[in-house]
A and B are shown apart, each in its own frame.
Chain A
Amino acid sequence: MITGKRAGDLMIPLDHYPHIPYWFTLRQAMAEIENTQIEVEGQKSLPRIVLVFDEKYNLMGMIRRRDILKGLQPDYVSAKSGDTRKLFNIEVDPNLMEMSYDILIKNLRERAEQTVSKIMIPITRTVDYEDHIMKVVHEMVTYNLSLLPVLCVGEVVGVVRSVDVFHEIAHHIL
């Protein structure tokens, strides 16, 4: 019965989930993602999100892979249309024929040294350890989230991912 599952049953304990302080760099966040394997019921996967804490270990936010990629984009590629820094229009020239690959890599590396605090997205929603799985589904669907921190007596104890919620529900349907 799926009614039996609570957020706490589906969560990955915080200790098994990558997290970093806010002054760490995008590069370090990438290393966390690349070097961590999350194992749930024998299945391994790379994390898509890294949690960000402050020095007092308060949860500040999270940084997703796409946030990191966004942070790495050089201004001359990512700036809004009309911005003079935008030298290349990827939508028009997807091959970027004139861009120097070496310079690009150099720029990516430079941008990778930005702190995650500049890119991270704040935590807006959480679930409680005892919350029903459908409350978790509700939060994810309503707020378009793929990961939610799980609280227990006011403290973050883990995270629940949409993939695990999906897997649990699929298990009962298929």
Chain B
Amino acid sequence: MKWFKNLVGKPEQISDRSLEIIQIKFNNFLEILHNNNAVLKNVSDMEEKLQGEYLFDLNYIRSLVSEIRRGVIAIINNMTALGGDRYKKLKECYAKIDAEIARILPGGRPIEEDEYIRFFDNIRRENAYSVGSKNAQLGEMKSRLNLPVPDGFAISAWAYKHFIDKNDLQHKISELIRPLNIKSYEDLQNVSHQIQQIVTNAPIPDDLADEITRSYKKLREKNPKARFALRSSAIGEDTEYSFAGQYRSVLNVRAVELLESYRAVLASKFTPQAIYYFLSHSMSEDELAMCVGCIIMVNTRSSGVIYTRNPVNAGDDNVVINSIFGLGKYLVDGTISPDVFRVSRGQKAIGDSLISLKTRKLEMHPDGGTSDTELSEEEGRKPSLSDEETIRLAEFAVKIEEHYGSPQDIEWAIDHDGEIYILQTRPLRVIAPPKNEIEIDVSGFEKLTEGGYTICPGAGGGPVYRISSVNDLQDVPSSVILITPHSFPGIVTVMGKIKGLIAETGGMASHMATIAREYGIPAIGNLKETGMLNNGDMVTLDSTTAVVYKGLHDELIDKRKPDLDLFEDIDIFNILKQISSHIAPLHLVNPKDSGFIAENCRTFHDITRFCHQRAMEEMFYGASELKNKDRFSSRLQTDIPLAVNIIYIDKEIPEKEKNRKVDENRIESVPMSSFWRGIKKEGWPAPARPADMKGIFGVFATTMTRTEDDRFSEKSFAILSDEYMILSLRMGYHFSTIEAMVTEQENKNYIRMEFKDGGATIERRIRRIRLLTDILAKAGFENYSKGDFLDSRLSYQDAESTKEALFLLGRLTVLTKQLDMALSNDAIAKWYTNDFLKKLDMPVDGDL
């Protein structure tokens, strides 16, 4: 038999090994508690930020998410180490939740492998992560909605990655961006210039160049007379993030300029404003791919932007069409003010319209590029759309909005034959009007100027600061009312620090307007009369009514604040809110529910809750299955006639030391010593006097079977560390396990008690459970009971409160020992409840 013993190990080796396993489990368990604590802290921090009272930027969100991810992954790994394969589902749940978070933080999603080129006929909106949102929506509208979308193809994100990888650009770009201070426009310009040079000098890999050229030829063969534009379509652009006007489009591209133009569009991913935008939105440049669309240009007579709702007044459901002559560039960059047509969506009738003086137009040049033409006053005052075109555009707009299910911002063009083309659609940010609009008395305010359009409603105050070109941006101080002659793309770089914006030309439909609404900056456009506003003058801009007042009027600024929380309408706030919906909510609440399984984890919080619960159970069952406990346990030395064996999990086991004892006054475990203090406080009932013992009539009068009676003599045992205890206590016929952690960190602290069985009939046992529930609830425990089973928990208390609660549990353990026997009716149960409450110095029902 010796060979067999050698094979399986001696009994003591087996038991030592089983203790070792428990110790390993315990370490994993501690790691879970530690990470759970860290994750919950971050979740609380996030929830605090969502109250809207704290400023945060997207770097905060990014680092928070990455901390939470790290914690949750560690918890899952520890859980798998603790409980094995039955927790492998957690990894799938994590991947699913994380993919949702990555979808909201576009930077988090790796570039998908795809073809280099996709023609619009072969694109749906689901392809947005491969071809960029702009291309994806064009494909969607062309193939699913049969709308008049110009033909074209997309050069995918995979192609971009190929270009970057082949030239080994990523490392160089990251090195330049990493130390960048985005608050300095000068630094932004320098870095932008260097990166753009690197990109434009890098050769396009041959295979990619061939495919782009071949596709261009194919498109040209189908449309021999057409001209082509290369347009940016970055991943994430036109989704939650507008990126409005950040990237470049190259118009009227000829075959010879094709590859050079492609590189130019790629390089525009690194313009100062684009770098500012993605860094201020905490996106990482290495994860944002630039896709490009090669699209047939419309020989444009008129073009413009449609808002399917009024963006500055959600209550106004007119379709708003902005239109100018020629290409749309002058509209979106704010060079000229457009005609504005309002069409009622129900009656398809043109309402309020405004015909502006359109001083110039941009057209395609026959030799490539574009040309600028001045318009005479007579030409400039003509409406850029006929009534019929206006109605048709509105019809298309409503169809697109219905398809996408949300307000849209649509770019369109009409050629010289009167054919309408849809060039782009993206979600429109609509600002809700204040819920309770309050009349503000401005009679005492001195009006300096008024006019123009509301670009973003609200009010802001500060000194006037004028700029005339992009070069002035680097000097713009904080908290000013900025006046600009028109919009230019770099203006986004100061949006984070100004209090208000006035543009002398350009209206609601410019990219600047979209960005101002995104950042929640009170802004008006097309305000011509600004001559009286000098640098340094203290003013209040009421953009809701398009008036500028002299001086600072805080009451006006306050009242114009949206009803929503301060950050409610700012993109960054919404990003956190959306991300939080995949992290913070808790759906797995009750461990006894059949739905308390890994597969049902819908948020990171669910995962941590599930793991915390299961880890405690794994520890408990692992400890109870410990082989040959007596070998490494010590007997608690106490005058209480209760045999408790103690195993210290964080201490060395003395070699074959027999008759080891632990003095009850020297228990090296904070939770256990607190609990034991409670036991000692109530004391143990003295045994019946020998004289009375004669009177014992040896009858067995319980509902218990003999097997259960045998359990009566089971020993109690405790597995302890300095801060932890799991105590398995056999008290007569009832069985309870009390697990607790007491540390200096509130988030780690918890008590969990499971209480079951009893010697009396089920009705009496249930009465005892009710009594315990009533008392424990008053002490702050959460209770779940079913029949004669009780699961009570207390968590997130500081060390002192947790110790107090354990002391209480110790007292209650003695007080309720075989109390079930005495609870013959509800009245007596109530009497005991109140009696114990008084004894424990807790408020009795009915007490004041």
Interface residues of A (CB under 8 A from B): 14-24, 28, 31-32, 35-37, 53-61, 115, 117-118, 120-124, 126, 149, 151, 154-157
Contacts and interface: CB of A to CB of B under 8 A. Distances in A.
A60 B692 contact: yes
Contacts of A32: 822, 824, 828
B514 to A, nearest CB: 75
A157 to B, nearest CB: 8
Nearest to A29: B822
B688 A36 contact: no
Interface stretch (B436-444, B522-530, B699-707): B699-707
A22 B688 contact: yes
B763 interface: yes
B18 interface: no
Contact of A19 (B699, B712, B822, B835): B822
A35 B821 contact: no
A120 B827 CA distance: 24
B458 interface: no
B822 to A, nearest CB: 4
B698 interface: yes
B697 A56 contact: no
B796 interface: no
A73 B818 CA distance: 28
Contacts of B764: 15
Contact of A156 (B689, B701, B712, B817): B701
A122 to B, nearest CB: 2
B692 A57 contact: no
Contacts of B699: 58-59, 126, 149, 151, 154-156
B694 interface: yes
Given A20-B822, A61-B695, A31 B686 contact: no
Contacts of A18: 822, 824, 828
Contact of B732 (A24, A36, A55, A117): A55
Contacts of B709: 56
Contacts of B712: 56
A35 B688 contact: no
Interface string B756-798: 0001110110000000000000000000000000000000000
A16 B488 CA distance: 89
Contacts of A123: 695-697
A168 B157 CA distance: 97
Nearest to B709: A56
Contacts of A16: 824
A20 to B, nearest CB: 4
A118 B695 CA distance: 12
B695 A122 contact: yes
Interface in B812-842: 817-818, 821-822, 824-825, 827-828, 831-832, 835
A35 B822 contact: no
A21 B821 contact: yes
Contacts of A24: 822
A118 B689 contact: yes
B733 to A, nearest CB: 8
B758 to A, nearest CB: 10
Interface of B: 685-686, 688-689, 692-702, 704, 709, 712, 732-733, 759-761, 763-764, 817-818, 821-822, 824-825, 827-828, 831-832, 835
B821 A117 contact: no
B453 to A, nearest CB: 80
Contacts of B824: 15-19, 32, 36
B695 A60 contact: yes
Contacts of B733: 57
A58 B700 contact: yes
B836 to A, nearest CB: 11
A157 B702 CA distance: 9
Given A35-B827, A155-B701, A60 B688 contact: yes
Contacts of A154: 699-700
Contact of A35 (B760, B763, B831): B831
Given A28-B832, A35-B827, A58-B700, 19 more contacts: A17-B824, A18-B824, A20-B822, A23-B685, A23-B688, A36-B827, A37-B825, A55-B732, A55-B818, A56-B700, A57-B733, A58-B699, A60-B697, A61-B692, A61-B696, A117-B688, A117-B689, A122-B695, A149-B697
Given A117-B688, A118-B689, A59 B697 contact: yes
Given A31-B831, A126-B697, A149-B697, A115 B685 contact: yes
B835 to A, nearest CB: 7
A28 B818 CA distance: 13
Contacts, number: 114
Nearest to B824: A18
Nearest to A121: B695
A26 to B, nearest CB: 13
Nearest to B688: A117
Contacts of B759: 57
B602 to A, nearest CB: 46
**Considering the complex of A and B, which 3 residue pairs feature the smallest CB-CB distances, nearest first?**
A122-B695, A23-B685, A57-B702
Interface class of chain A by DSSP? mixed
Given A20-B821, A115-B685, A31 B701 contact: no
A36 B831 CA distance: 11
Given A35-B831, A53-B701, A56-B712, A21 B695 contact: no
6 contacts: A53-B821, A56-B709, A58-B699, A61-B692, A149-B697, A155-B699
A149 to B, nearest CB: 7
B700 A57 contact: yes
Contact of A58 (B692, B697, B817, B827): B697
Nearest to A33: B828
Contacts of B702: 57
B704 A57 contact: yes
A57 B700 CA distance: 6
A112 B229 CA distance: 99
B835 A31 contact: yes
A21 B828 contact: no
B424 to A, nearest CB: 80
Nearest to A119: B692
B523 to A, nearest CB: 75
A38 to B, nearest CB: 10
Contacts of B698: 58
Contacts of A14: 701
Contacts of A156: 699, 701
A120 B692 contact: yes
A31 B822 CA distance: 10
A92 to B, nearest CB: 32
A117 B822 contact: no
A59 B821 CA distance: 12
A15 B818 CA distance: 15
A98 B352 CA distance: 105
Nearest to B695: A122
B688 to A, nearest CB: 4
Contacts of A17: 824
Contacts of B692: 22, 60-61, 117-118, 120, 122
Contacts of B832: 28, 31
Contacts of A155: 699-701
A77 B557 CA distance: 85
A81 B465 CA distance: 109
B410 to A, nearest CB: 78
A54 B822 contact: no
A15 B763 contact: yes
Contacts of B818: 21, 55
B840 to A, nearest CB: 16
Given A15-B763, A120-B692, A28 B822 contact: yes
B828 A31 contact: yes
Contacts of A15: 761, 763-764, 824
Nearest to B763: A15
Nearest to A56: B712
A121 to B, nearest CB: 7
B699 to A, nearest CB: 5
Most chain B CB within a 10 A radius of its CB, from A19, A35, A151: A35
Nearest to A16: B824
